């Protein structure tokens, strides 16, 4: 079954007999008040919690109950002391231990997608709804305006042009007269762009032994932060993780990664200031192998404005990695800032010329309405997203799921 049908269900076939029965029932006005009385009070059903969420919720309730019980007991003791005329300060020296703020119930991955894609979904949805409200018929102006809408939604010029041409064909095939006839088709085409014949290529190339991940990307896109969050994610999963600070020339880059290592309790391999990045990577590779590390993440420089030097540096790092472990790096991941829209596509094009990329780390998706750039990168470069950053919290990163992403992007529009 195609991705769109898995997400939103297949388009129901027309059933003329059933339609006639429904129309007949609607026309029976006497039945309407009774139906309204029975269905007027709608009870909102909360989604079922997982056993872990249920246990966390109960722990939180128990903790709050204990806290307020102790608080009430202290208030009673203070009141008794006041009634006896005793020194209240002496009585209140016995402080009640205030419990730590309870941890929030963990979000599911789907909840994170829905939250982080809210701005993109609302922006795209509002434009699409306005578009269909303005057009009653399907004509050439309809297709031109649709193409412009898609470009403004950051799906890219090539995607917008291809989609408009496909829709012209579909409109003729279906003999569509009204704009609303094509609404579902438009969304289905957007999903099909990402599906790419079912070859999503999203799985992380994890190894039985050491897995080496090389991270590239321009400065300021959230590359080092993503590495730190992934180190936390994998360490929480029981993996032995090590980081390598190979961005040795940018002021503060090494210190930033070292701070992340301290924060998530993961060792960081560093070298002297301004040292050769490849030599630091070599030390990191040998140390990772000798210490039976599961995942080694290498942070590199992002000076795209000097492509020749960067290409030479990345090529040298690649040779050093392969010298120690011939099949590595197992992932070469480009970090791109979703909020930069089409600029993220430009960066992906430039870096793909410099080094072979196996995937993207999409950052800052929660603060932007430009999530459509994922479709542009997929269509034009066929580079899959492998990780996605959902927000500021330390656990706001996860492995990318096209189904969760497309559902979060289009929910409510289908």
Q: Is the pLDDT of residue 190 over 90?
A: no
pLDDT reported for residue 56: 59
Res. 236: pLDDT tops 90: yes
> How confident is the model at residue 403, as a pLDDT?
79
| Across 56-65, 153-162, 334-343, least confident range | 56-65
Are the CB atoms for 186 and 180 separated by under 8 Å? Answer: no
Per-residue pLDDT at 165 exceeds 80: yes
Residue 311: pLDDT above 80? yes
pLDDT given at position 216: 93
Task: Count CA within 13 A, CB hemisphere, residue 278.
Answer: 15
Average pLDDT, the chain: 76
Residue 10: predicted pLDDT: 64
Q: What is the pLDDT of residue 357?
A: 92
pLDDT of residue 54: 66
Q: What number is the average pLDDT over the span 166-175?
A: 82
pLDDT reported for residue 23: 45
Looking at the whole model, is its pTM more than 0.85?
no
Q: Which residue has the higher pLDDT, 271 or 112?
A: 271
Q: Please count the other Cβ atoms lying within 10 Å of the Cβ belonging to residue 208.
A: 6
Does the pLDDT value for residue 87 go beyond 50? no
């Amino acid at each position: 079954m195609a991705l769109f049908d898995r997400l939103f269900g297949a388009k129901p076939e027309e059933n003329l007999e059933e339609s006639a029965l429904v129309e007949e029932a609607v026309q029976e006005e006497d039945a309407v008040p009774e139906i309204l009385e029975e269905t007027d009070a709608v009870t909102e059903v909360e989604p079922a919690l997982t056993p872990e969420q249920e246990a966390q919720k109960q722990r939180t309730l128990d903790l709050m109950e204990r806290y307020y019980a102790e608080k009430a007991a202290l208030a009673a003791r203070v009141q008794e002391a006041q009634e006896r005329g005793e020194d209240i300060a002496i009585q209140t020296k016995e402080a009640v231990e205030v419990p730590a703020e309870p941890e929030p119930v963990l979000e599911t991955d789907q909840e994170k997608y829905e939250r982080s894609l809210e701005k993109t979904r609302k922006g795209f949805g509002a434009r699409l709804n306005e578009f269909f409200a303005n057009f009653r018929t399907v004509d050439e102006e309809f297709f031109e305006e649709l193409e412009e809408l898609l470009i403004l939604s950051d799906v890219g010029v090539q995607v917008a042009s291809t989609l408009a041409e496909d829709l012209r064909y579909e409109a003729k095939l279906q003999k569509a007269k009204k704009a609303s006839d094509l609404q579902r088709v438009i969304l289905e085409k957007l999903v099909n762009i990402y599906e790419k014949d079912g070859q999503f290529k999203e799985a992380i190339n994890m190894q039985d032994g050491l897995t080496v991940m090389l991270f590239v990307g321009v400065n300021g896109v959230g590359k080092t932060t993503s590495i730190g969050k992934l180190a936390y994610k994998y360490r929480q999963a029981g993996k032995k993780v090590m980081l390598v600070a190979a961005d040795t020339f940018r002021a503060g880059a090494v210190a930033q990664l070292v701070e992340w290592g301290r924060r998530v309790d993961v060792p960081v391999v560093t070298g002297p200031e301004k040292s050769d990045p490849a030599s630091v990577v070599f030390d990191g590779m040998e140390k990772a192998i000798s210490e039976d590390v599961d995942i080694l993440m290498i942070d590199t420089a992002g000076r795209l404005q000097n492509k020749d030097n960067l290409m030479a540096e990345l090529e040298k790092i690649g040779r050093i990695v392969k010298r120690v472990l011939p099949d590595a790096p197992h992932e070469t991941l480009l970090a791109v800032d979703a909020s930069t829209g089409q600029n993220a596509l430009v960066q992906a094009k430039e870096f793909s010329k410099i080094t072979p990329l196996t995937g993207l780390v999409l950052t800052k998706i929660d603060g932007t309405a430009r999530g459509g750039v994922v479709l542009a990168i997929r269509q034009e470069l066929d580079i899959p997203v492998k990780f996605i950053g959902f927000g500021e919290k330390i656990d706001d990163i996860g492995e990318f799921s096209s189904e969760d992403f497309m559902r979060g992007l289009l929910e409510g529009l289908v």
